[in-house]
Amino acid sequence: MIDRVADSRQFDSFDWRFVAVVGAILAVGVLSIYSVTYAQPGGGLPLYVKQLIWILIGCAAFVIVLLFDYHQIARIAYTLYVIALALLVVVLIIGKTSRGAQRWIPIGPFAFQPSEFAKLVLILVLASYYARAPREGWIQRVVLPGLIMMPGLLLILKQPDLGSGLSFLAIYAAMLLVVGVRSKALGVILLFSLMLFPFAWEVMWGSLHDYQRQRIMSFVDPDYDPGGKGYHALQSRIAIGSGELLGKGLYGGTQSQLKFLPEGHTDFVFAVFAEEWGFLGILVLLALFVGLVILSLEIASTAKDMLGALLAAGVIAMICFCVVVNIGMTAGMFPIVGIPLPLMSYGGSATVTTMAALGLLLNIKRRRLTLFY
């Protein structure tokens, strides 16, 4: 089943650029995690070492996904989706509860987050659905895929995990945009209203009373800021703002080093980076993410077939959505929902899933000239 192209060790310059951008973002992430956690006492492996291990596993996932033709993978999409749904059910039964949300299946010393895996599977399922679906018909183009997505979405919201739920919607919207539903505007509006959610939310959110916000947030996302006092949001803004142009330097981030900033190694890793490296550092980081997205879009638009294009669009939507919402939330444009920054936040499930998704992208690119059988 392994085709000859994948056997080839010959990376072209595009591949190298792609890998270099991903590697750079991963490196920045590990550095930031190291900076926040190196001084923290605690038994076991330091977090940055654990993250390096996750990245290694992620590399393996990247290579494995690369080895198989994406059509082969798409063929087992529905099977994978059933497995993912089963895992989402399992997590609701035996999952580890942390801060009011049941999201993790404990495996030895680690915890596996099925919702991350489910995101990638959703991309596969929707892409293979659209690749074979009739090109016309509102029900077939919009309603059916929506119904396919629904069980996964509901199970995730049951945990509750607002961040992953919104990611599901973003992937669905991106698919609608790319396949071109009858009313193209629908996809555009759906996707960008999700992207612009931060800005719109700022206005809506700002007009609510504290207790209303608190009620809403504790309902949809019990993770953060249970007091509703905006402590975490403020500390994050202070961390970013006080970085100013040049930043406070590595290990110099007082907000994160002295633990004013919560979750500095996970969801707020961007604030840590912004505090230590300043606006210049952020420009570089944003450039890396933009570079990754442009390369990915190139893959999507040069894909050999609809399936490749759809898969690429789904992966792009998933990553972009997480990046935008995570940065928007740490920069105080958005209420705090638990969405990690792809490739940077500490976390095994998210890191491995994202790297597998990137492997899928490169897979599409490397097979754009081959004939398949």
Nearer to another protein, 55 or 295 (CB): 295
Quote the CA–CA distance of 205 and 197 in Å, as a whole number: 11
Quote the CA–CA distance of 186 and 173 in Å, as a whole number: 9
Question: CA–CA distance from 116 to each of 36, 63, 123, 154, 273 (Å)?
Answer: 24, 19, 12, 15, 24
Binding piece for another protein, criterion CB under 8 A, among 59-67, 91-99, 320-328, 354-362: 320-328
Nearer to another protein, 88 or 299 (CB): 299
Strands 110-112 and 101-107: antiparallel
From the centroid of its chain, how far is CA 369? 29
CA nearest neighbour of 238 among 203, 265, 221, 262 = 262
Nearer to another protein, 215 or 368 (CB): 368
Phi, psi dihedrals of residue 335, rounded to the nearest 5°: -65, 155
Strand order in the sheet with 101-107: 96-98, 101-107, 110-112
Nearer to another protein, 307 or 352 (CB): 307
CA nearest neighbour of 292 among 196, 357, 199, 198 = 357
Is residue 333 within 8 A of residue 37, CB to CB? The reply is no
- Contact between 129 and another protein by CB under 8 A: the answer reads no
Phi, psi dihedrals of residue 98, rounded to the nearest 5°: -135, 125
Q: Which of 55, 66, 105, 177 binds another protein (CB under 8 A)?
A: 177
Q: Under rule CB under 8 A, which residues in 130-149 are in contact with another protein?
A: 131-132, 135
Is residue 258 within 8 A of residue 43, CB to CB? The reply is no
Nearer to another protein, 90 or 280 (CB): 280
Nearer to another protein, 67 or 238 (CB): 238
Residues binding another protein: number (CB under 8 A): 60
Quote the CA–CA distance of 104 and 90 in Å, as a whole number: 10
Nearer to another protein, 83 or 205 (CB): 205
Question: Going along the chain, which residue ranges are E strands?
Answer: 96-98, 101-107, 110-112
Report in angstroms how near the CB of residue 251 gets to another protein at its nearest.
12
Quote the CA–CA distance of 347 and 343 in Å, as a whole number: 9
Report in angstroms how near the CB of residue 115 gets to another protein at its nearest.
24
Binding mask 50-89 for another protein (x = CB under 8 A): ---------------------x------------------
Q: Roughly how many angstroms between the first and final C-alpha of the chain, as a whole number?
A: 10
Q: Which of 2, 86, 196, 208 binds another protein (CB under 8 A)?
A: 196
What residues does 106 pair with on adjacent strands?
Answer: 111
Q: Under rule CB under 8 A, which residues in 276-305 are in contact with another protein?
A: 278-279, 282-283, 286, 289-290, 293-294, 297, 300-301, 304-305
Q: Which of 114, 152, 163, 332 binds another protein (CB under 8 A)?
A: 332
Report in angstroms how near the CB of residue 322 gets to another protein at its nearest.
13
Binding piece for another protein, criterion CB under 8 A, among 11-19, 162-170, 329-337, 348-356: 329-337
Quote the CA–CA distance of 353 and 343 in Å, as a whole number: 10
Is residue 299 within 8 A of residue 361, CB to CB? The reply is yes
The angle that helices 114-132 and 348-366 make with each other, rounded to 10 degrees, is 30
Is residue 238 within 8 A of residue 260, CB to CB? The reply is yes
Nearer to another protein, 309 or 355 (CB): 309
Binding piece for another protein, criterion CB under 8 A, among 21-29, 56-64, 128-136, 154-162: 128-136
Binding mask 221-260 for another protein (x = CB under 8 A): --------------x-xxxxxxxxx--------xx-xxxx
Q: Which of 274, 336, 339, 352 binds another protein (CB under 8 A)?
A: 274
Report in angstroms how near the CB of residue 194 gets to another protein at its nearest.
10
Residues that bind another protein (CB under 8 A): 71, 131-132, 135, 174, 177-178, 180, 184, 188, 191-192, 195-196, 199, 235, 237-245, 254-255, 257-260, 274, 278-279, 282-283, 286, 289-290, 293-294, 297, 300-301, 304-307, 309, 313, 316, 320, 324, 327-328, 331-333, 372-373
